[in-house]
Every structure is written in structure tokens, then in C-alpha cells.
Amino acid sequence: MTELNTADSVRTTPEGLLWEPSPRWVRGRTGDVTVVDSRHPVLVWEPGVPVPLYAFPREEVREDLLRPAKNPPAGAHTGSQVFYDLEVDGELRENAAWSFPADELAGHIAFEWFQRTGKGLDHWYEEEEEIFVHPRDPHKRVDALPSSRHVRVEIDGTVVADTRRPVLLFETGLPTRYYIPREDVRLDLLVPTDHRTGCPYKGTAEYWSWRGRADVPSDVVWSYPDPLPAVAAVRGMLAFYNEAVDITVDGERSERPVTPFTKALF
């Protein structure tokens, strides 16, 4: 077993990777096959990537299921040298895993998450709770707080939501999101779409688009019908992308923020 210093701090490698040991028991599966079963995972942040990933000691990975990659990608991960294809029950998943060249991470293997990249392992668990899309960042906080603020949302000058009973969601690194009861939203001005997204902090979201002719991005409104317990207060409520609509809080118009979502929206 590769020994790692377990002091509570983030380290940096010469390649620019940030990493720290995690105390969580992590398992990754493809179908009914457990590919990773680790009590010594490491969280890794790649330069320019806002979310972490896990890397695992080789001893806690089913290396017998890994094959040298037939078509390794160029520049897919920071300084990565070796990619692996994953073969489970006769199905080959290309470039599902890789290793970093950093000395500090020698002897570790990282995996793609299917829900994030469309390849890799299907299901991930921390302890007995399934987690989705990517590992949760221990340095990030998400709080959903009921409020009595007066929140009004306008699209192209039309008021589409007006409430004094929002839930404010505070998520590290993102603008405040205002979740509004459906009864306080002009649902007749919105049309449901087939778009769905997953979030490791909140769950699976469903979306609506604006019916009007204004230059508004599609899927500008979302809701979590069955949120994770930590943000249960937003259940069934609707939120609008601050980046694309006009939001007024207690009489003060908010500036439209520029976030990692802005480019995708526009």
C-alpha cells in the first residue's frame, strides 16, 4: 500500500495538480461489478477544472479489468502518461482510467464518471450513499435557507415570478440562486423541456424554457423534484439563471453575474 501523509492540507505537485487524502470509503461500479473499493482515496483537482476527482491506490482497484488503452487521448488530463480501457463482462470502455505522472500520486489510478463524461464507471458511493456526476468538494458548502425576501424575476420586461417566500441557495463560488414556489411563478409563460442535469450536492434537475420571443437561452428555469436531503427545502421550487434574467431582491436590481454557466447559456 502506498503511504500518504494524512495531514489536513492540500498539496501541490510540480504539474500543478492539487491533492489531499480523503477519509471516505469510496466504491465505483459498472453494472453489478465493483471496480474500485477504496478506504484510502485521494481527491485531485486539475488546473482550470472547478470540480475534483478521485484517484485510488492500485491495490484497491480491479486492475485485472484494465487494459492498456488502444487509442489514448492527447491532453485529456493534466500530465497523464498512461490510459487504460476497462473491460467488464465483454464490454470495453475506452480510456476509462488513467494514472498521473506526479511522484506524489505514483501508484494511483483515476477513473472517468459516466454521468459527467459519458464514459467510465456508472455508479459511485461514499460510504453507503450514492453520489453523482463528480465527488463532492470538501472545501465547498451548499446551504438552502428559507427567507422572507421579496424576489421578482423579469424576462424581457415581463414579470414571470414574484414571491416573499423564496429559498435562497448559497453555493461556494456561485451567485445566490433564488428558488421560488410554483404558485408564485407564471408557469403559463414557460414550457417544460426534456433537458435533465445531475448535481452531486442537489440531485437531478428538470427544466423549462421561456415561451416568448426574446433572446433568452433555452432551459433557463430548473427545479429539483426530489432533491438530496441536504437541500430538501428547495423541493419542487423553481430557480432562474441569474446570468440570463433580471432579478430584483428587496427592491434592488441584481447585476447579471458571469459564471462558468454563462458560456454554455449563450
For residue range 154-213, what is the model confidence (pLDDT) as tens digits?
999 999 999 999 999 999 999 999 999 999 999 999 999 999 999 999 999 999 999 987
pLDDT grade for 260, boundaries at 50, 70 and 90: confident
| The predicted structure's pLDDT at residue 199 | 92
Q: Does the domain made of 142-265 have the CATH classification 2.170.150.40?
A: yes
Are the beta carbons of 124 and 112 closer than 8 angstroms? no
What residue spans define the domains of the chain?
11-131, 142-265
- CA neighbours closer than 13 Å in the CB half-sphere of residue 160: 24
Residue 204 grid cell: 437531478
8 pLDDT band, cuts 50/70/90, is: low
Residue that wins the pLDDT comparison between 160 and 215: 160
Task: Dump the DSSP string for 84-129.
Answer: EEEEETTEEEEEEEEE---GGGTTEEEE-BHHHHSSSBSEEEETTE
- The closest of 8, 238, 188, 73 to 82, measured between CA atoms, is 73
Common-topology check for domains 11-131 and 142-265: yes
CA distance 151 to 250: 6
Q: Is 11-131 CATH 2.170.150.40? A: yes
Closest Cα partner for 135 from 109, 154, 116, 156? 116
Write down the pTM of the prediction. 0.84
Mean pLDDT of the chain: 92
Place of cell 428559507: 146
- In angstroms, the CA 116 to CA 127 distance is 21
Q: What is the Cα–Cα distance from 143 to 169, expressed in whole angstroms?
A: 6
pLDDT value of position 265: 85
User: So what's the pLDDT on residue 115?
Assistant: 74
Q: Which parts of 67-224 fold into alpha helices (H)? A: 114-117
206/9: higher pLDDT: 206
pLDDT computed for residue 194 by the predictor = 97
Instruction: Write the pLDDT tens digit of every residue in 12-46.
Output: 998 889 999 999 999 999 999 999 999 999 999 99
pLDDT band at 217 (very low <50, low <70, confident <90, very high): very high
CA-to-CA distance for 238 and 233, rounded, in angstroms?
12
Weakest mean pLDDT among 7-16, 195-204, 251-260: 7-16
| d(C-alpha 180, C-alpha 201), whole Å | 19
Cell, residue 95: 480510456
- Per residue in 92-122, pLDDT (tens digit) is 999 999 998 888 898 999 999 987 777 889 9
